Amino acid sequence: MAERRSPGGQLGNTNAVRHGWRLLWRRAMVREQDRWVTRPVEAYIAGLRSDKPNPSAGEESCIEVAALAKGCSLLILNELKQHGLTTQIDGHLALTPAGDELRRFLELELKALKILGLERRAKPLTASVDDFIEQGAEA
């Protein structure tokens, strides 16, 4: 009897993957003990997409860069928690290389968010200008 094939091709086929970097994060790039980082990154992506409901291809790329930088920052923070932020070299206190890389990933994330255009938004006015004038005259 012949084996039943799953619909959609062979297992492990990545030809029609929509978000390839997520697949790499899940399968190859993240060590088994660091798989916890995929959930916060997915939540971060969902939050950014809620701010930008219909992102263009460029905005989608900025979201991916920001999410990748966020994931790397979380992994670095976890390592710093285990090994410390500073090290002693020839009697001098120095920042660990991971601490310096953390700064770079945070800067990269902020740049991607600036390009994405997530600046502060003004609160919508609930009252009209005439109401403000009347309140000022009463006070």
Closest CA to 19 of 57, 47, 54, 73: 57
Cβ-based neighbour number of residue 25 at 10 Å: 20
Please give the mean pLDDT across all residues of the chain: 79
**Whether the model pTM is above 0.75:** no
Buried b (16+ CB within 10 A) or exposed e, 64-90: bbbbbbbbbbbbbeebbeeeeeeeeee
pLDDT band (50, 70, 90) for residue 110: very high
Per-residue model confidence (pLDDT) at position 17: 63
68 with 21: CB under 8 angstroms?
A: yes
